[in-house]
């Protein structure tokens, strides 16, 4: 009868599902507003949980934002992971395609992640910078393992600077693409690919 009356039954979320729900709400709010303008009470209200439950998962607002940043960091590291044995030039387009698809599918999380460096919280900024450093290492290791470039590439200061600059360039391009998504993904992909190959050219 309850179903006939249109009553909805709520499925109890597991701990992992609830945590993911809260992080998704947080990613949206942090992507839309500066860190100081997001209130934990707002997150709890949107998620339909008590403040006490939210604090059970994340003791402080800093812990909550740090968890949002760490989740997006893990996703991006998976997207930028090199494929062993495949030349960099061959996997660059496919890797960027996957990365851009992630950016579009998780736009709120991507924006929230890149807001982290603007916060005044040193712990959160450290997590963000560690994530960028991990992306940089992945790219350098892929170049080092590629016979076209070789192990010396990983040690060259100019290559490190080029890769670091390319990550900043790609971030800026992706954020602009999210604001104005009319450019085809293939065009954005080719732009980023040319930028990396041009930056590391001898």
What per-residue confidence (pLDDT) applies to 11?
Answer: 59
Tell me how far apart the alpha carbons of residues 128 and 149 are, in angstroms, rounded to a whole number: 28
What per-residue confidence (pLDDT) applies to 6?
Answer: 36
Q: Which residue has the tokens 């709890």?
A: 44
Could you state, in order of their start, the residue ranges of all structural domains in the chain? 62-200
Q: What predicted TM-score, i.e. pTM, was given to this entire model?
A: 0.79
What does R_g of the chain's alpha carbons equal in angstroms?
A: 20
Tell me how far apart the alpha carbons of residues 19 and 21 are, in angstroms, rounded to a whole number: 5
Q: Note the pLDDT tens digit of each residue in 174-186.
A: 999 999 888 999 9
Q: Note the pLDDT tens digit of each residue in 25-76.
A: 999 999 888 888 889 899 999 999 999 999 999 999 889 998 998 998 888 8
Distance in Å from the first CA to the final CA of the chain: 74
Q: What is the CATH number of domain 62-200?
A: 1.10.357.10
């Amino acid at each position: 009868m309850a179903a006939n009356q249109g009553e909805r039954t709520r499925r109890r979320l597991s701990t992992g599902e609830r945590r993911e729900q809260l992080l998704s709400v947080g990613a949206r709010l942090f992507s839309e507003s500066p860190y100081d303008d997001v209130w934990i009470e707002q997150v709890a209200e949107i998620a339909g949980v008590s403040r006490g439950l939210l604090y059970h998962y994340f003791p402080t607002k800093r812990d909550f934002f740090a968890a949002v940043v760490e989740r997006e960091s893990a996703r991006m590291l998976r997207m930028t992971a090199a494929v062993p044995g495949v030349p960099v030039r061959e996997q660059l387009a496919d890797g960027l395609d996957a990365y851009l698809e992630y950016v579009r599918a998780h736009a709120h999380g991507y924006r929230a992640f890149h807001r982290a460096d603007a916060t005044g919280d040193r712990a959160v900024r450290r997590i963000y910078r560690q994530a960028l450093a991990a992306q940089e290492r992945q790219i350098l290791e892929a170049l080092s393992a590629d016979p076209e470039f070789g192990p010396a590439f990983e040690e060259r200061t100019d290559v490190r600077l080029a890769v670091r600059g390319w990550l900043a360039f790609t971030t800026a391009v992706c954020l602009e693409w999210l604001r104005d998504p009319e450019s085809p993904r293939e065009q954005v992909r080719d732009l980023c690919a040319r930028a990396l190959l041009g930056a590391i050219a001898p």
